[in-house]
Amino acid sequence: MAFESTSALALLESWLASRLSADAQEWYNKKRADLGSDREFFLAFALVPRNLGKADLELTDQERSACTDWDPSNWTVDQAARIALLLAGPDQSFIARLEKLCATGDVGEQITLYQALILYQNPASLTQRAAEGLRSNVVPVFEAVAHRNPYPQRYFDDAAWNQMVLKALFIGSSLHPIQGLDERANEPLAATLIDSAHERWAAGREVNPELWRCVGPFINTNRLEDVKRALESDNPLSQEAARLALAASNLPEAKMLLEATEDKVLSWEEIHQALRHV
Amino acid sequence: MSEDPSKSNEPIKLIDPHVHMSARTTDDYERMAASGVVALIEPAFWLGQPRTTVGAYMDYLSSLVGFERFRASQFGIHHYCTVGLNSKEANNEELAEAVMEILPLYLQKEGVVALGEIGYDDQTELEDRYLRKQIELAKEFDMVIMIHTPHRDKKRGTSRTMDVLKEHGVDPAKVAIDHNNEETVKEVLDRGFWAAFTLYPNTKMGNERMVEIVREYGSEKIFIDSAADWGVSDPLAVSKTFRLMNERGITKADIEQVCYHNALSCYGQSGQINEEDWLNPLPVDQRNLFHGNSVLRGGQTPRVDEDSLIIE
């Protein structure tokens, strides 16, 4: 289900209503009633954290269930209020305001804006904006687009998707929080990732075990050698990742290779968690 | 000689409340963090050569609240900034007008602790006009002001700046007058302003002189900074002066006032810089730049890898 911007606004405001103090709610209502002028809007947007705080939303399971594949479980009060103010303004001002906010945003504002892409009107038209977020050198901004965000899965073409996955690995971010990672796996991505693994091996660097997740379904006879290399590496997480990749392959040789290994397979989530705690 | 605080187990905490990190390398960030710098303030200034378009100005301000903050965080340093139209570029009227239009977009961003650095350079009519306009803007937004005092004709320029602030009814407790020296300090303190000193080789203060100023004027409303930028300057100036003051018998309490607490008190009035930010960082998640790593964790041993403490 795609969110209509109006229903997203209603949802955000209902969450705020049950969390804001009376004073904070009054401040919000006052700003919400005066969104016609750009100056007032930009000031209100900037002032949200000071007036409403930055507490976690901590959504209940019931609230969370209204969100389908949109995952706001990490959202905070200020983020919800900022997006609500952006959505509540005049429709014709929306794009210009979004662009200006992105161009002038501080780190917190940029994270907020990018993680809400899915809630905006006509999200399919915002792929360039999303790609700009991925170009950021600020890792949390990159992750606001890439992680816990259904936008890339729904709206990116393969080229943009593949760049995102490759960059996530390149900057030392993780793959597991990318939504649709398995569904959007594709042959050119697998080829690029194998190339990048070769580059890293040539340079004597570690290959992130998560890389093999996007390779598994596309293992062919050539790539089997590469997976084998991961299987035989010193890193137990790489060995586990290689087993998972083999398990995702239909290639008979892959199945044979898998059967010859120990019968212990972690999940990708467990590998992700283990990597985060290294 | 008092006990050397750099040898004690308690980690040194320093703030450099004026340093232009965009012009510095990651080596500098590393060395500053190692020397005990937990937070710094990067005032908006010129880039060594004038900007000619408002777009260039916006991109610069965006980087101060964006990428530079992140860059600092990678070294465990909390980055804050000030936003304003500097006196040099105030002399380009067309640019200055355009910058005044966009400044309100930045004044309330997270981590913006003051409007500044503003003041006089050549003390021209245009500099005066935009100084006054920005003082009014700071009042409208209830902001702390960081004042740059001129290199040339400093004493008169500093007095004149304070006259203008008074004329506009600004509370001196909400103003830091920077780049002071022996000639300006008394009037600044007498009039109730914060007096900041820049330890910058050759053109501003040397730190042996600084020790004597603290000895004479105490530590109540004085703090120090490096103002390190794209010129020959020293991003370790605060930590070197910390150690020099200690070697020369300034009390620990005075040293800590001058190298940490006073800058925090002055700019803390913005509500945008708070000790909690580095003493009790938030837990790990993608919204936070700092991933829960207290910079003071694990008994970090501050150090300075320099032979000489003296800045001349």
Q: What is the mean pLDDT of residues A230-242?
A: 94
More confident residue, B12 or B311: B12
Distance from CA of A222 to the nearest CA of B (A): 37
> Which of A31, A106, A141 is most worth mutating to test chain B (most B CB atoms within 10 A of its CB)?
A106
Q: Phi/psi class of residue A58: alpha, beta or left (left: φ > 0; alpha: ψ in -120 to 50)?
A: left
Distance from CA of B61 to the nearest CA of A (A): 8
Task: Give the C-alpha separation, B40 to B43, whole Å.
Answer: 10
Residue B298: predicted pLDDT: 37
Judge if A126 and A194 occupy the same domain.
no
Task: Give the C-alpha separation, A238 to A241, whole Å.
Answer: 5
Distance from CA of B293 to the nearest CA of A (A): 13
Task: Give the C-alpha separation, A100 to B7, whole Å.
Answer: 49
Q: Is B292 on the interface with A (CB under 8 A)?
A: no
Query: Is A106 close to B285, i.e. CB distance below 8 A?
Result: no
Q: Which of A46, A103, A140 sits opposite B286 (nearest CB)?
A: A140
Judge if A148 and A270 occupy the same domain.
no
Judge if A232 and A115 occupy the same domain.
no
Query: Is B105 close to A104, i.e. CB distance below 8 A?
Result: yes
Residues of chain A in contact with residue B108, where contact means CB-CB under 8 angstroms, are: 43, 46-47, 50
Residue B203: predicted pLDDT: 80
Task: Give the C-alpha separation, A223 to A101, whole Å.
Answer: 45
> What CA–CA distances, in Å, run from B119 to B112, B123, B197?
18, 8, 16
Task: Give the C-alpha separation, A122 to A90, whole Å.
Answer: 15
In this predicted model, what pLDDT tens digit does every residue of B23-59 receive, in sequence order? 999 999 999 999 999 999 999 999 988 999 999 999 9
Judge if A228 and A272 occupy the same domain.
yes
Chain A residue with minimal CA distance to B272? A50
Residue B287: predicted pLDDT: 53
* Residue at A118 is within a domain: yes
Which phi and psi angles does A76 have, rounded to 5°? -115, 170
Task: Give the C-alpha separation, B171 to B178, whole Å.
Answer: 16
For chain A, first and last CA: distance in Å?
A: 37
In this predicted model, what pLDDT tens digit does every residue of B145-161 receive, in sequence order? 999 999 999 999 999 99
Interface of B with A in 83-142 (CB under 8 A): 102, 104-111
Judge if A9 and A115 occupy the same domain.
yes
Within chain B, residue ranges assigned H as helices are 26-34, 54-65, 67-73, 93-107, 125-140, 154-167, 185-190, 207-217, 237-247, 252-256, 262-268, 276-279
Residues of chain A in contact with residue B109, where contact means CB-CB under 8 angstroms, are: 46, 106, 109
Residue B297: predicted pLDDT: 38
pLDDT at residue B288 above 80? no
Looking up tokens 């007008």, which residue turns up? B97
Query: Is B289 close to A107, i.e. CB distance below 8 A?
Result: yes
Residue B312: predicted pLDDT: 79
CB contact at 8 A, B238 and B226: yes
Residue B281: predicted pLDDT: 65
Query: Is A107 close to B69, i.e. CB distance below 8 A?
Result: yes
Three-state SS for B38? strand
Q: What is the mean pLDDT of residues A182-205?
A: 96
In this predicted model, what pLDDT tens digit does every residue of B137-196 receive, in sequence order? 999 999 999 999 999 999 999 999 999 999 999 999 999 999 999 999 999 999 999 999
Residue spans of the domains in chain B: they are 11-280
Query: Is A140 close to B109, i.e. CB distance below 8 A?
Result: no
> Which of B83, B108, B280 is most worth mutating to test chain A (most A CB atoms within 10 A of its CB)?
B108
- What does the mean pLDDT of chain B come to? 90
Query: Is B110 close to A103, i.e. CB distance below 8 A?
Result: no
Residue B11: predicted pLDDT: 82
Query: Is A106 close to B271, i.e. CB distance below 8 A?
Result: no
In this predicted model, what pLDDT tens digit does every residue of B252-277 receive, in sequence order? 999 999 999 999 999 999 999 999 88
Judge if A33 and A151 occupy the same domain.
yes
**Closest alpha carbon to B237 in B276, B212, B261, B211:** B211
pLDDT at residue A111 above 60? yes
The model's confidence at residue B284, banded by pLDDT at 50, 70 and 90, is very low
Residue A84: predicted pLDDT: 97
Residues of chain A in contact with residue B271, where contact means CB-CB under 8 angstroms, are: 50
Q: Which of B58, B111, B286 sits opposite A106 (nearest CB)?
A: B111
Residue B293: predicted pLDDT: 47
Residues of chain B in contact with residue A104, where contact means CB-CB under 8 angstroms, are: 58, 61-62, 102, 105-106
Distance from CA of B140 to the nearest CA of A (A): 12
Q: How far does Cα B165 stand from its chain's mean position?
A: 19
Query: Is B66 close to A110, i.e. CB distance below 8 A?
Result: yes
pTM over 0.95: no
Q: Is B271 on the interface with A (CB under 8 A)?
A: yes
In this predicted model, what pLDDT tens digit does every residue of A59-101 receive, in sequence order? 999 999 888 889 999 999 999 999 999 999 999 999 999 999 9
CATH architecture for segment(s) B11-280: Alpha-Beta Barrel (3.20)
Query: Is B105 close to A109, i.e. CB distance below 8 A?
Result: no
Query: Is B110 close to A137, i.e. CB distance below 8 A?
Result: no
Judge if A150 and A218 occupy the same domain.
no
- What does the mean pLDDT of chain A come to? 93
pLDDT at residue B280 above 90? no
Judge if A22 and A121 occupy the same domain.
yes
Which among A136, A156, A176 is the end of a domain? A156
Q: Is B62 on the interface with A (CB under 8 A)?
A: yes
Residues of chain A in contact with residue B111, where contact means CB-CB under 8 angstroms, are: 106
Query: Is A107 close to B286, i.e. CB distance below 8 A?
Result: no
Distance from CA of A262 to the nearest CA of B (A): 34
Q: What is the mean pLDDT of residues B280-288?
A: 54
Distance from CA of B154 to the nearest CA of A (A): 35
pLDDT at residue A236 above 80? yes
Chain B residue with minimal CA distance to A49? B110
pLDDT at residue B7 above 90? no
Looking at the structure of chain A, the number of domains it has is: 2
Residues of chain B in contact with residue A47, where contact means CB-CB under 8 angstroms, are: 108
- Which structural domain, as residue segments, surrounds residue A239? 187-276
* Residue at A165 is within a domain: no
